[in-house]
Structure 1
């Protein structure tokens, strides 16, 4: 990848390699008047999107220690008790990798992504993006599939077909596209081929964020080129886990 500041899947290298640093609060946004303006705007339909974004960014900064601690506690719990996380950790270990508390890192993120993976730095968990433990579990599983793939296969970071295959497999195998999550959190009401539709959508969105991909049409075409083989490849699982 031409951008040395990001991992192949868009994870911020600097966020993963640096310790969390306190961010001074901006009094222009962290005020009661901002909170009331947001509530009023939502009720009247005259929302100020920039105000909302900056206000909640300031709130995240204020609660950063608590949010990251919750993420770290959940990470440790999942490494010990989650069936899918434990299975993927063991499979990564068989290939010579070691995923643990030291290289699965919780940080506050400014983007909307919930996680990322770097072969050199490990897994990034965006602590301020998780709705609940299940969401964090899905994200960890997604990034752990990436880790397994990078150890198992010769992945070329500049090869968009390789990257599309990684995203198809991670979304298929992590559980993030199971029906209940799509139905209750994404308002996706599709019944037939729901899994395939979700995986295509997520893989296409991920590809759109990569250098060299011009637009959604190009991202979709790349996903379609590798779809058949990558969607059917369930390794290291015998079948799609959930």
Structure 2
């Protein structure tokens, strides 16, 4: 298991903007009901929200029962005093098609986009990613309105749950002759775009804040303890080794 480096304190100055950052991607967060057009129903198969919600909730339940990473995150949260109640803390909803999930820090709730994350594999990826944000909110008291805090948790989520060499290749951050830093470059790119997706900042600003906090956040591997490699037993090893961190 890789050693962990604890996060140093980050700048606690919050952005005083009154904007509802991020949640325009999740219309049901604002009490709106999704009404697809006839064209979207005919061409994209939309208009089956009840069925999608049932399938999404079934996928969530299967991941909670069977996914080593999801079970590890739930164990870490429980051991940190933030036990997850599935009905309260995880919600399947219709989202903008540009996102597959999200974390609402105001309600302390993970959103799984039922119209995008349709498979169990995608649901596992969303749950693990967003539960890392929930863990950071619980354990490290991050302020998600603070750009540095937001960048840090996005770096950690990308580092621990994404950016295998293949995904880095697809994203354009590596090639057969650029392997050494491909994972770090992939994490930086994914974190930068995640910041852009929820805050009205320029690409240069998002890149700058990711660079400022990158080293300290990239080296913090808690609670998973290792970076996941595609087609490996890493997730099973991480779950078995959870006791080393005091997780049940």
Distance 2:114 2:40 in 1: 21
Tell me the SS of whatever aligns to 1:129: coil
Give the aligned partner of residue 79 of structure 1.
64
Q: Is the 8 A contact 2:55 2:118 kept in 1?
A: no
Give the aligned partner of residue 228 of structure 1.
215
Distance 1:157 1:179 in 2: 29
Q: Is the 8 A contact 1:11 1:116 kept in 2?
A: no
Give the aligned partner of residue 140 of structure 1.
127
Question: How many positions carry a matched residue from both structures?
Answer: 209
Cα deviation code 1:26-83 (max 9, x no counterpart): 346655xxxxxxxxxxxxxxxxxxxxxxx53xx32x2222222211111000001100
What is the correspondence of 1:10-21 to structure 2 with a 5 Å cutoff?
A: 10=23, 15-16=28-29, 21=33
Tell me the SS of whatever aligns to 2:215: helix
Which of 55, 63, 80 matches 2:48? Answer: 63
Cα deviation code 1:98-155 (max 9, x no counterpart): 2242121111112411111123241000111126322221111000000000111131
Distance 2:129 2:37 in 1: 34
Q: What TM-score comes out, normalization by structure 2 length?
A: 0.73
Which has the larger Rg? 1
Distance 1:186 1:158, change over 3 A: closer
Distance 2:100 2:67 in 1: 18
Give the aligned partner of residue 37 of structure 2.
26
Instruction: Indicate the RMSD between aligned Cα atoms, in angstroms.
Output: 2.7
What is the correspondence of 1:1-242 to structure 2 with a 5 Å cutoff?
A: 2-3=17-18, 5-6=20-21, 10=23, 15-16=28-29, 21=33, 23=35, 26-27=37-38, 30=41, 55-56=43-44, 59-60=45-46, 62-102=47-87, 103-119=89-105, 120-130=107-117, 132-174=119-161, 176-183=162-169, 186=171, 190-191=175-176, 192=179, 193-211=181-199, 213=201, 215-242=202-229
Q: What TM-score comes out, normalization by structure 1 length?
A: 0.75
Q: Is the 8 A contact 2:155 2:214 kept in 1?
A: yes
Distance 1:229 1:207 in 2: 17
Q: Is the 8 A contact 1:107 1:124 kept in 2?
A: yes
